[in-house]
Structure 1
Amino acid sequence: MSFPEPYVHPPITTHTHTIILLHGRGSFGRELAEELFFSNTTNNQNLPTTLPTVRWVFPTSRNYWDTKFEEEIPEWFDAYSLTNIEERQELQVEGLKESIKYILEILEKDIELVGDAGNVFLGGMSMGMAVVMWVVVHYLASATGNNKALGGVLVFSGWFPFARQTEEFITTAGADAAGFQRLISSVLGGTVPGIEDQESITPTSLPVCLLHGTDDAFISVELGRQSSRILQKMGMPVEWHEYTGAENEGHWIKEPEGFDKIVRFLRSHGMK
């Protein structure tokens, strides 16, 4: 079964940048776009108005059989528990691998469309963030030392699948392209397609903006803090932001402060 077509919100003016954002479990691309664009910055403007040159791409996941709920729901992979992310985590592997491959294909197409990888940002909410974490690992594993890095990573209210194994592996094996390739093989199985093993190549780091509510009722803020720590060990410069009082029982971006931080992050990395 193929993935649905992404929802695309075109730029208001000349297209200079692209932002690709992944939704959470039980949602879909257009719904995330509507929720995101309904919120405003302190200037009382939504994100498309504030960033008029951005093409917004919202992929939608397949429907997967969810083992915990015993039904098919829109999700990027089968996550049995969000309170204990290691419980039956072997169920995550198949969906993760398929979703990673799909998002890497979208990235390649949008980089070609805008003409510069540095003008493309990747992000996700909740389970969407979880997929993005492993897309980043694959991206770093394919580094040759010459590839232009993405503009950055924007994630919130999520977690890093196989976090403990990833942190232990990086601590012992190091954060270079070859190490990331071995990590993928060890945790998910297989290799990075089309990439030959590299020796001691340090990938170009990707700036990360990570937001998480301390009162998040669905994904513990401790999982966000853990993700931030792992990304830093991977060589990523991380902007970590905690807050309270966001909508959806804390499982969202605090308005307007969180949206101000998103805009500042994007503009500090080349977006107008």
Structure 2
Amino acid sequence: MMGFPSSHIHLPQSSHTHTAILLHGRGSDGPEFAEELFSSMTSSCKNLPSCLPNWRWVFPTSRDRWSHRFQEDMCAWFDAYSLDDIHERQDLQIDGLRESVSRILGILKSEIELLGGKTSQVYLGGISMGMATAFWTLFCATNQYHEPLGGFLGFCGWLPFARQVQDVAQRSQDSVPNKLQLQRSVAGFFLNTISGSKISQVSQVTEPVDTSILSTPVILSHGSDDIWVSVDLGRQAARVLQQIQIPVQWHESTGAENDGHWIKEPEGFDQIFEFLEERCSHT
């Protein structure tokens, strides 16, 4: 897609068996996020590529877009007007989400093809706004894939339109308390919003949606002292996933770098490695 820079790629140190696609936060970019992530260590004093030498790491970069809050162009996946109240002027988020989700879906497709179509050996995630965008990508990938990804990793982020998703899930549960129909209704909300339907509209999907990808296991971590993205937003995202019966691990920490807006070292990186290693053993 025009306007998006090339992804930063860290190649595997030996034969390629798995790929992680990880999205940066607002104001950062792929190379910067990669450098910060790989400079952090597990308790064994190893970084993630050293722990997982067969992994290919893909760090996409967003294009610059206009921020209505800051009145300037910023490297951002979408325009988030306020992180104090994510529902304020949330309509501004849709165009960026549409563009960015399309971009990441393209990268996801390429990486799955590179691994011979093995969806379960590709992982998706991100930090802050990157986590928010990766979540939307996961939900908008329904119907395109017929099995889960290997896993989803989210750090210090949130779920855009979480309140609307909760409303859709609650209405579905009230009418048909069935996991498949529940996830189809929620996936329909994401697909309708991305396609341009009114965000207030709660409609049944006209054709059955394959929600197999929503069985992707999820790990979320957030600093309870995060001054940039409130931990309450992370907790809300975890609750929404639990409500729609997506398997999720939730971890909170204190004392991480960047005023709590980062992964706690080394405990958080131990949790990431354990999550990835466990799932590698099943693929």
The TM-score with structure 1 as length reference comes to: 0.92
State the partner residue of 2:212: 203
Superposition map of 1:31-180 within 5 A: 31-115=32-116, 116-139=118-141, 141-142=142-143, 147-173=146-172, 176=180, 178-180=184-186
Q: Which moved more, 1:226-235 or 1:102-111?
A: 226-235
Cα deviations across residues 176-232 of structure 1 (Å, max 9, x unaligned)? 4641343125544448xxxx9443755351100000000000000000000001112
Contact 1:61 1:74 in 2 (8 A): yes
Cα deviations across residues 1-43 of structure 1 (Å, max 9, x unaligned)? 4210000000011100000000000000000000000000000
Contact 2:220 2:249 in 1 (8 A): yes
SS in 1 for 2:273: helix
* Cα deviation, residue 82, structure 1: 0.5
State the partner residue of 1:214: 224
SS in 1 for 2:185: helix
Distance in 2 between residues matched to 1:47 and 1:200, nearest whole Å: 35
- Closer, same or farther: CA 229–29 of 1 in aligned 2, 3 Å: same
Question: Percent same amino acid at aligned positions?
Answer: 50
The total of aligned residue pairs comes to 265
Distance in 2 between residues matched to 1:210 and 1:62, nearest whole Å: 25
- Out of 239, 248, 255, the residue aligned to residue 229 of structure 1 is 239
* Cα deviation, residue 129, structure 1: 0.4
State the partner residue of 2:200: none
Distance in 2 between residues matched to 1:168 and 1:189, nearest whole Å: 20
- Closer, same or farther: CA 36–180 of 1 in aligned 2, 3 Å: same
Structure 1, unaligned runs of 5 or more = none
Contact 2:225 2:255 in 1 (8 A): yes
Deviation beyond 6 Å, 4+ runs, structure 1: none
Contact 2:143 2:209 in 1 (8 A): no
Contact 2:30 2:60 in 1 (8 A): yes
* Cα deviation, residue 132, structure 1: 1.1
Structure 2, unaligned runs of 5 or more = 174-178, 198-204
- RMSD (Å) for aligned C-alpha atoms: 1.9
Cα deviations across residues 59-90 of structure 1 (Å, max 9, x unaligned)? 00010000000000100000000010001111
SS in 2 for 1:124: strand
Contact 2:26 2:129 in 1 (8 A): yes
- Out of 250, 253, 256, the residue aligned to residue 260 of structure 2 is 250
- Closer, same or farther: CA 202–31 of 1 in aligned 2, 3 Å: closer
Distance in 2 between residues matched to 1:181 and 1:223, nearest whole Å: 20
Contact 2:17 2:115 in 1 (8 A): yes
Contact 1:77 1:93 in 2 (8 A): yes
Contact 1:130 1:159 in 2 (8 A): yes
State the partner residue of 2:280: 270
* Cα deviation, residue 234, structure 1: 2.4
**What is the one-letter code of the residue matched to 2:79?**
D
The TM-score with structure 2 as length reference comes to: 0.89
State the partner residue of 1:25: 26
* Cα deviation, residue 233, structure 1: 1.9
Cα deviations across residues 149-190 of structure 1 (Å, max 9, x unaligned)? 110100100000011001111221355464134312554444
Distance in 1 between residues matched to 2:13 and 2:211, nearest whole Å: 37
* Cα deviation, residue 143, structure 1: 6.2
Distance in 1 between residues matched to 2:124 and 2:192, nearest whole Å: 25
Is 1:2 the counterpart of 2:3? The answer is yes
Contact 2:156 2:229 in 1 (8 A): yes
Distance in 2 between residues matched to 1:32 and 1:130, nearest whole Å: 16
